[in-house]
Amino acid sequence: MIRTKVIDAIKSTNFGEKILLKGWVRTRRGNKNVSFVALNDGSTIHNIQIVIDNEKFGEEFLKPITTGAAIAVEGMLVESQGKGQTVEVQADTIEIYGTADPETYPLQKKGHTLEFLREIAHLRPRTNTFGAIFRIGHNMEMAIHTFFHEKGFFCFHTPLITGSDCEGAGQMFQVTTLNLNDLPKDKSGAVDYSTDFFGMPAALTVSGQLEGELGAMALGGIYTFGPTFRAENSNTPRHLAEFWMIEPEVAFIEIAENMSLAQEFIQFCVRWALEKCTDDLNFLAQMYDNELIERLHFVVDNDFVRLTYTEGIDILKKAIENGRKFDYTVDWGVDLQSEHERYLVEEHFKKPVILTDYPKEIKSFYMKQNDDGKTVRAMDVLFPKIGEIIGGSQREEDFEKLSRRAKEMHVPEKDIWWYMDTRRFGSAPHSGFGLGFERLLLFVTGMTNIRDVIPFPRTPKNAAF
């Protein structure tokens, strides 16, 4: 018999039909005569109730069917008389695949804290919360590919191992096969990379953008979707050392169109979640955040406010004059902290915000320089609860200006000669941005710590599992 998934079984009205279910026992309760097993197979947040005639199977046989055990059940689908479910299955045969000793299985029925569950990240996908989060994560991935595919963008894989530091922030994880205890040195005493695997220093990428631009300057519109790595020592609820980024890059569009694309993209994803992840979202809303659904609708229904960094600073300074306190100082030229971003979004505008035209000193070398000589055509999309969810810009397409800026920012041209070639041959205005996948998931699930929206988080001093 072919296995029926719980998600299909609970919707079925084929009462009297024999079906085969396989899954993990969430709970077992009952009395002397009958047992009720709540079975979950991960296909949905909902369990299906299995009704077991104790006498038919015998106490000894049923004993190991405890929370966490994996079983297969063949039985008849019937309408349920019980509360909270429409169908149940009357067990004819039961096979026990694997038991879970109640003395040692950590996921007993009682609620666990998210902190505790992080310590057992290998088992937490079996909880309702993490089942919901990871199903939503999958749906967001499908939404992302669908959005760009329908717009005629091509998914373009950029390398994970690279010789160039895209963001120039020096936060790269080095990749080497050299023996760290016995490094080959050249005459000046520097490490001789000619004998290293790639014959040069290499690292894990912080962004696929530079290679993405090469794709856009040929295919018109591309997007990358892959892991990125940052060795930044920020132990915050919003930073991971390994996260996934989606980076569209588009030829022939300027900053305004780039902003519209970013808004349309996020709204598409959030709408997708509202339409396709209803049960999981309702569960998370009920358990953790009763304003979640409202906040998601709010983002879908409202245009994002657009203003410049300079205007943003003025608003923050006025707020400070009026007595608003922040941990970090605000002055033209400083990088905004998450508290500032959230003030603009949650308190001042009460809408998602796109800030543009940042001081060039706090942004990367590749951004298009404005005529004022002070700012670049950057854009950050700021979201309630999250702060920055997207970072992007129009790119500098002028060879001379780009080359000068790279020098000023100590990006060696020998490392990016291939990137410079796009400006040498058939250069054109183009723009793009990067969305942090886990930041999107934070927003959509209402979780407050980024460690809880990726199955196995990597953060400073932590690479377990």
C-beta atoms surrounding 359 within 10 Å: 17
The kind and range of the H/E element at 304 are none
Minimum separation from the CB atom of position 173 to Mg ion (A) = 19
Can residue 221 be called a binding residue for Mg ion (CB under 5 A)?
Answer: no
The interface mask with ligand 4AD, positions 177-216, x = CB under 6 A, is: ------------------------------x-x-------
Residue 160 contacts by C-beta under 8 Å, 6 or more apart in sequence? Answer: 204, 205, 226, 227, 229
DSSP string, 347-402: IIISS-EEEEEEEGGGS-TTBPBPTTSSEEEEEEEEETTTEEEEEEEEB---HHHH
- Residue 245 as a binder of ligand 4AD (CB under 6 A): the answer is yes
Q: How far apart are CA 259 and CA 309, in angstroms?
A: 15
Q: Are 207 and 395 a contacting pair, CB within 8 Å? A: no
* Residue 299, SS3 per DSSP: helix
**Per-residue interface string for the shown chain with Mg ion, residues 335-374, x marking contact by CB under 5 A:** ----------------------------------------
Q: What does 262 bind: ligand 4AD, Mg ion, none (CB cut-off 5 to 8 Å by kind)?
A: none
In whole angstroms, how close is the CB of 91 to Mg ion at the nearest point? 54
Torsion region of 299: left, alpha or beta (phi above 0 gives left; psi -120 to 50 gives alpha): alpha
392 part of the interface to Mg ion, by CB under 5 A: no
CA-to-CA distance for 239 and 460, rounded, in angstroms? 10
Distances (CA, A) of 404 to 233, 334, 408, 431: 30, 23, 6, 20
- Closest residue by Cα to residue 207 from 180, 188, 232: 232
**Least CB distance to ligand 4AD at residue 125 (A):** 20
Provide, rounded to whole angstroms, the least separation between the CB of residue 381 and ligand 4AD: 7
137 binds ligand 4AD (CB under 6 A): no
CA neighbor of 137 nearest in space, from 243, 220, 32, 38: 243
Of these, 37, 204, 376, 390, which contacts ligand 4AD (CB under 6 A)? Answer: 390
Residue span binding ligand 4AD (CB under 6 A) among the ranges 50-58, 147-155, 297-305, 433-441 = 433-441
Nearer Cβ to Mg ion (71/435): 435
Determine, following the binding rule CB under 6 A, whether residue 388 of this chain makes contact with ligand 4AD: yes
- Applying CB under 5 A, among 391, 392, 432, 457 the residue interacting with Mg ion is 391
Calpha distance 38→26 (Å, rounded): 5
240 contact choice in ligand 4AD, Mg ion, none (CB below 5 to 8 Å, kind-dependent): ligand 4AD
* Binding footprint of ligand 4AD on the chain (CB under 6 A): 166-167, 207, 209, 230, 232, 239-240, 243, 245, 247, 388-393, 432-436, 438-439
Interaction site with Mg ion (CB under 5 A): 391
